[in-house]
Amino acid sequence: LVTLFFIGQSIFNLNLTTLLTGAGVAGLALAFASKETLSNFFGTLVIIGDKPFRCGDRIQVAGIDGIVAEVGMRSTRLHTRTGTICTIPNSQIESSSIENISARGVIQFVFTLGLVYESTPQEIARAIAVLHEILDDFHGKDAERHKPRIFFDGLGASGLNLKVIMWLKTASFTQEELWRTEINLEIVRRFAAENLVFAYNTVTNYLCGDPARPLPVV
């Protein structure tokens, strides 16, 4: 390039300042145009070097939960729970927090149950005990850090809320759905056998003239 510029200036009297300025502008334009591509490319290098996941792993990244199908030079493709393929730019993955569910081997399952306000403290304690009977060591021995946590969460608008935090020992979408169904069916069956009544959203209207609840009129 230096030789060509020298020949152009010496023989053809070309203005090198103009040529270099034009080349600089073109270089800037090219840099801006390829910024996203280069960002994704370097994101790919980070994924390859750091190995936060592999093809076949279930991960959660950028708010998406899916199975890694392919890691390309520009993007990564995930198979989601709905059966669709989601494409995420590698630059976004590289700058996001990645949760590798397959590496952890368990999926957190959090839900809340409500008992009616007529429930006694003994019934609340019994409900917690029944939940432990169902969920402790569910399909395998629980690791110490993954033992189910069940507690009286608070007084809800329509019921007494019990909160459950547990971990399912799988990374499969299908197995997770089957085990959630199994847990819910067993809870319904056991609570019915123990005469524990679920709460649901209700509205109570008090009528004027009810002798049990006098309503003073000012």
Amino acid found at 118:
E
Closest CA to 76 of 49, 48, 50: 48
Q: Angle CA(182)–CA(183)–CA(188) in degrees, nearest 5?
A: 100
Query: Each residue of 24-81: pLDDT tens digit?
Result: 666 666 666 566 777 777 788 888 888 899 999 999 998 899 999 999 888 999 999 8
Residues 6 or more apart whose Cβ sits within 8 Å of residue 78: 59, 64, 66, 67, 68, 69, 85, 86, 87, 88
Tokens, residue 43: 């994101």
Kindly tell me if the per-residue pLDDT of 1 is higher than 80.
no
> Which residue blocks in the chain are alpha helix, DSSP H?
2-10, 16-33, 35-50, 90-94, 101-104, 121-135, 173-193
Tokens, residue 12: 């053809």
Query: Each residue of 107-129: pLDDT tens digit?
Result: 999 999 999 999 999 999 999 99
DSSP SS3 for 212: coil
Amino acid found at 37:
T
Contact between 32 and 43 under an 8 Å Cβ cutoff? The reply is no
More confident residue, 102 or 214: 102
Query: How far, rounded to the nearest angstrom, does the alpha carbon of residue 1 sit from its chain's CA centroid?
Result: 53
Residues 6 or more apart whose Cβ sits within 8 Å of residue 157: 201
Kindly tell me if the per-residue pLDDT of 200 is higher than 80.
yes
Contact between 92 and 62 under an 8 Å Cβ cutoff? The reply is yes
Q: Angle CA(63)–CA(67)–CA(71) in degrees, nearest 5?
A: 90
